[in-house]
Amino acid sequence: MEKSEIQFKSFNLSINAERLFSRLTKLGQIGRDGDGKLTRLAATDTDKAGRDAVVVWMKEAGLEIAIDRIGNIFGIWRSPDAEDQAPILMGSHIDTVINAGIYDGCYGVLAGIEVIKTLREAGVVPSRPIAVAAFTNEEGVRYAPDMMGSLVFAGGLPVEEALATVGIDGTLLGAELERIGYAGTEDPGFLQPHAYVELHIEQGPVLERMGISIGAVENLQGISWQRITIEGVANHAGTTPMAMRRDAGHAAARVVTFLHDRAISSTTPTVATVGCLHFEPSAINVIPSRATFTVDLRDPNEQRLKDEEAALADYLEKLAAAEEVCITAERLARFEPVIFDDNIAELVECAADRRGLSSKRMTSGAGHDAQMIARICPTAMVFVPSVGGISHNPREYTSESDLVAGANVLLDVVSRLAGVL
């Protein structure tokens, strides 16, 4: 489809920027500790406080509130002329990492509410219902896997299995959702979307460095998470000759170097990260007997991702023999690359052009709820620049002009999908 084939009707609406910024700021204050650090892990008291605020804002927008059994929150605008139509769904998440910024996830949820509020205030009558979702446990910090709420909603994980998940603090997700009052009654998937659009900060440096306002996200990298355990022999750091050691710490360091060197020397977009690393007995004068660490592999091509997994497995086998250690690997999560809907990505480009904004097609390097919802309906994402490419960090920042631009593009795309434009 050529861009010229998509014609938007005359449409002069724009979101209320002051209202959006005010809510982003208010939500960004919920969950701060005595040092000012922002943390809202899934199903905690601070998550409850954030959810409560979002529900209030959804109700202020005139939305019907529905909560499913995994705790996903939906604000639904049911068009009187389209009760039997599948809705256009927007959304993201409001749970955070530890010591987070204020935009990741929250921007997509609050902008979705703002889109509906803007349309309702203008007296618009869509030909489809429009809804916004706040999905549970997208970050996966307290409970694994990440993107759990949207995965359960899309039918990729049984709800009972998800509710039985044990967190890093020993709690059960189901019990914690009950405790905070967000164990809903709707079965996951009760709402079947016609299409899903997620607005998000890029969390990377591409748009800012290229001076581009809008990213029309057409695909998302596949993700492979593993936990590697290396068993060696603890011994005295001073009396054990180097050649006589079975050093789990040294073996782990070799894996880290292997992954880095392989990725950086490749001409592909593969990335590899060791994000967690722990030695036992963790004493300065004892050779580590055990090393446990995580490996995060990502690539937008499924075959390349499989090749990287195979290369790592082969290296670990050879390393175990060379270092005389025992190595085991546990898969934590595995998601194939996702191809988003080309027509919606095209709408994003055309909406940006209509607003006088530059845009480009791009790949998402991070995982998002959109990759799960893409299993059940046409899906795409809208990115706006992240200053310095920083995210999962209190220095995460996107300018107000870019936030407004992204929300207005979302407004146009959703309006077109809902028959308004």
Residue ranges for the known binding site are: 93, 104, 139, 200, 392
Q: Tokens in use for 405? A: 């631009």
Q: Which amino acid is present at 330? A: E
Please check whether residue 73 is in contact with residue 55, taking contact to mean a CB–CB distance below 8 angstroms: yes
For the annotated binding site for Zn(2+), the residues are: 93, 104, 139, 200, 392
Count of alpha carbons within 13 Å of 193, Cβ hemisphere only?
Answer: 31
Residues 24, 18: Cα–Cα separation, whole Å: 10
What is the Cα–Cα distance from 397 to 107, expressed in whole angstroms?
Answer: 11
Contact 332, 253 (CB under 8 A): no
Radius of gyration of the chain (CA): 23
Distance of CA 338 to the CA centre of its chain: 13
Secondary structure of residue 415 in the 3-state scheme: helix
How far apart are alpha carbons 30 and 52 in whole angstroms?
10
What sign for the dihedral angle of Cα 202, 206, 211, 212? negative
Residue 138 is classified by DSSP as: S
For residue 112, which phi and psi values (nearest 5 degrees)? -65, -45
Q: Which residues, including other chains, have CB under 8 Å from residue 393's CB and lie 6 or more apart?
A: 99, 100, 101
